[in-house]
Amino acid sequence: MVSGALAQVQPEPLTAGNANANDTVTVERPKKPDSLKEKFYLRSFRVGTDLISLGKTVVMKDQASNYFSGLEVNGDADFGKYYFAVDVGTSARAYDLHYGDSGNYSNSGNYYRIGIDINLLKKDPDRNMFFFGLRFGHASYHESANLITVNHYFGAVTKNLTNNSVTATWGELVTGLRVKVWKEFWMGYTARMKFLPGVSGDTAFKSFDIPGYGRNGEGFYWGFNYQIFWRIPVAKQKRPVRFSAK
């Protein structure tokens, strides 16, 4: 801290008092103390789950016209400023189309997301997080639809269609908070802007709902998770050295 203050007072090269005007003495700016840098090493793991998926499963598991069952496990590894994040989930959905007039749709499958978060709260002693990050998502699933299609000129037709083995990839821009609540218990949320879904294997009909992503279509898709975590420390946290005046 003392050497840092000196650097601010003497930002320009110094001129020696008894030397000529052309002679200059250059003083190098001292490096910051190591204690203020976020060193890159593994500090802890956090493992948690998404409460919204659990809540929706409880509320919607008995609704035939709007069924949902899902579980998502979230984890991250604390490397200082950077966090490596992984989400793994399973999801099953079924719902009516146009109140049942157009048939119904169902899917079931698994997904994962991997990516990196950057913590913007650099000096928080509890290592609370306000972060931005990127994710790569991948899902493999099957889906089926009972479609009733009505045409003004040619009448109505009902088709039972199935996409047996569908895979999808996408990207996400994420932001959110992680807050230490009690000891190693943490809570937080993640807002997701999902984009560029790429689907293969949807031969019978255009894939409609991607597990872990949402509705397949152009543009962005919005997602939100409210999560709880348990932190597992790996290395003891090195706190910045504090100097006290005597």
Among 121, 173, 177, 179, binds other proteins (CB under 8 A): 173
Site residues for other proteins, 42-71, by CB under 8 A, read none
170 binds other proteins (CB under 8 A): no
d(CA 166, CA 144): 11
148 binds other proteins (CB under 8 A): yes
x-marked contacts with other proteins along 196-235 as a string, rule CB under 8 A: --------xxx-x------x-xxxxxx-------------
Which one-letter DSSP state was computed for residue 56?
Answer: H
x-marked contacts with other proteins along 119-138 as a string, rule CB under 8 A: -------------x------
Closest by Cα among 237, 158, 192, 215 to 85 = 192
d(CA 130, CA 119): 6
CB of 70 to other proteins, least distance (A): 18
Residue 46 or 208 with smaller CB distance to other proteins: 208
Cα angle at 110 between 197 and 164, to 5 degrees? Answer: 80
CB of 182 to other proteins, least distance (A): 29
Contact, 5 vs 210, CB < 8 A? no
Residue 74 or 107 with smaller CB distance to other proteins: 107
164 binds other proteins (CB under 8 A): no
116 binds other proteins (CB under 8 A): no
Residue 75 or 103 with smaller CB distance to other proteins: 103
Contact, 129 vs 188, CB < 8 A? yes
Main-chain dihedrals φ then ψ at residue 125, nearest 5 degrees: -65, -25
Contact, 97 vs 105, CB < 8 A? yes
Residue 180 or 190 with smaller CB distance to other proteins: 190
d(CA 11, CA 7): 6
x-marked contacts with other proteins along 75-104 as a string, rule CB under 8 A: --------------------xxxx--xxx-
The number of residues making up the chain comes to 246
Residue 19 half-sphere exposure, CB side, CA atoms within 13 Å? 8
Among 40, 153, 182, 243, binds other proteins (CB under 8 A): 153
Contact, 231 vs 46, CB < 8 A? yes
d(CA 60, CA 157): 30
Sites of contact with other proteins (CB under 8 A): 95-98, 101-103, 105, 132, 145, 147-149, 151-155, 157, 159, 161, 173, 175, 191, 193-194, 204-206, 208, 215, 217-222
